[in-house]
Chains A and B, each alone.
Chain A
């Protein structure tokens, strides 16, 4: 039987899981500020040993593709695409935000993931539980939190907020949304490798492993600056 390996290092959390079809046979999760690049492959090696399988028994790699920490996402994506390519097996990318909102599967209402992106911005989206599955209503994007909350006011009904960065923003969310806002407890706010494996089991594999890249949802700072300068030059030429 073939196994799925799922990995996520898009935040401080390092999590991975091995599943056999729908059954999770092993999972690891740490929530500490330690180097993912150093720890990811030893963690994979150890979990594989613990569940007693070798690399050639893997038949699918699932990775959380971002948004999140640029470096963190790159570590998981590079590892995942190198494994998938060199083992010649399918690779599945799952949004890091979609992974987070799985907490809301049995919540009667909407779920909003929050990943802090500094300067009042957040990586976020809007999901709703339908028949115990999370359905995307508004896509993953970089948004100004203030404007986003005004927009969320209009959806009606309770909204479950999930994410490790909630402590930074819960005050502002409460001020705007009042009782409409519900906050997931810490224990349910961390991404889980097992959920990632389950999501990846249902999703289509990527067409091309080679061209698979992280979903940054934001240009590199130098690139954004350069583009806005080009824009200014174009405008002054008009």
Chain B
């Protein structure tokens, strides 16, 4: 008899092959992540065809490892969950087809999960969620403020109009000659420098919770270029610090404003850029003195992983929102109407 809800979750949306077993939507029995970053580094970014090839090499091995570590057999499972989108289509297909085959072989319910819902629900693996809540989602592909009135309901109240935060970080890092992925390098350099350069902040319209980072990115590149042409010295640490300060000021200010306007008692941080130390500490500084509870997942749950997919899948399991065998990888999957 199944007393506990045990979900096998699979995530292959980008360059991490991951599988996890999650108990009752909140306890991690296993969370295996195989990163391909070493393979993509030499190309200066993720190459989709190579990512897909790696996923096929790894997929059953990683799932087996997750089940072994969790000490569960197929008959113990309640469902199989998988990232349906967004992401690289060829990469998504590997997880989706593996999940469908396992669900079919063992007659298990199949659950398709939105990758960003996964990032948000990563927080549920460390703390109880209290609705309504607000999440700042920041990653290589996303920059969004998501309002949630209740479990499984997502409203995007603000999003980037051009580059995602992570994208801007990577581009600025490349300009400064830092290796891929550049985000963590900028974060580190920023702490060694001072924000002495005057860089713009894109506030957009007064009541907007949207973001824009392409102007800031261009400004950094122009600054560097102009100074070099005039033979002036550029202090990379200071430029990184100035860039990071601009990004964080906009992110945190808009989050705080949205929190007040929507009257939420819980603010969540989610996504790969949530690993950024500068962002974490500024959010803490702003929210700590207030009544608002700030949740920031540990680093290993910020980057892509299957545990977060299992946590988000648990909501759909309870709502019996199951997928059929025609589930497909969907690179443009909509968060609000999934």
- Chain A interface (Cβ < 8 Å from any Cβ of B): 35, 37-42, 44-45, 54-55, 70-71, 74-75, 77-83, 85-87, 209-211, 213-214, 216, 220-223, 226
Q: Is the CB of B74 within 8 A of A74?
A: no
* B158 → A minimal CB distance (Å): 33
> In the complex, which of the residues A42, A82, A222, A223 has the most CB atoms of chain B within 10 Å of its own CB atom?
A82
Known contacts A37-B97, A87-B105, A211-B57; A223/B50 CB under 8 A:
yes
> Which residues in B have their C-beta under 8 angstroms from that of A209?
60
Residue contacts A-B, CB under 8 angstroms, 6 given? A37-B93, A37-B329, A41-B101, A70-B49, A82-B60, A86-B102
> In the complex, which of the residues A38, A44, A54, A77 has the most CB atoms of chain B within 10 Å of its own CB atom?
A38
- Chain B interface (Cβ < 8 Å from any Cβ of A): 42-43, 47, 49-50, 52-53, 56-57, 59-61, 63-64, 74, 90, 93-94, 96-98, 100-102, 104-107, 324-329
Known contacts A79-B100, A83-B105; A222/B49 CB under 8 A:
yes
How far apart sit A40 and B328, CA to CA, in the bound complex (Å)? 10
Q: Is the CB of B326 within 8 A of A78?
A: no
How far apart sit A220 and B90, CA to CA, in the bound complex (Å)? 13
Say whether chain A's binding surface is mostly helix, strand, loop, or mixed: helix
Known contacts A71-B93, A209-B60; A39/B326 CB under 8 A:
yes
> What residue of chain B has the Cβ atom nearest to residue A209's Cβ?
B60
Q: Is the CB of A81 within 8 A of B59?
A: yes
Q: Is the CB of A75 within 8 A of B59?
A: no
* B232 → A minimal CB distance (Å): 33
> Which residues in B have their C-beta under 8 angstroms from that of A210?
60-61, 64
10 nearest CB pairs, A to B = A82-B101, A41-B325, A220-B49, A82-B98, A78-B97, A85-B60, A222-B47, A41-B100, A38-B328, A210-B61
Q: Is the CB of A74 within 8 A of B102?
A: no
Q: Is the CB of B60 within 8 A of A81?
A: yes
Q: Is the CB of A78 within 8 A of B101?
A: yes
Q: Is the CB of A71 within 8 A of B107?
A: no
Q: Is the CB of B97 within 8 A of A82?
A: yes
Known contacts A45-B325, A78-B93, A220-B47; A86/B56 CB under 8 A:
no
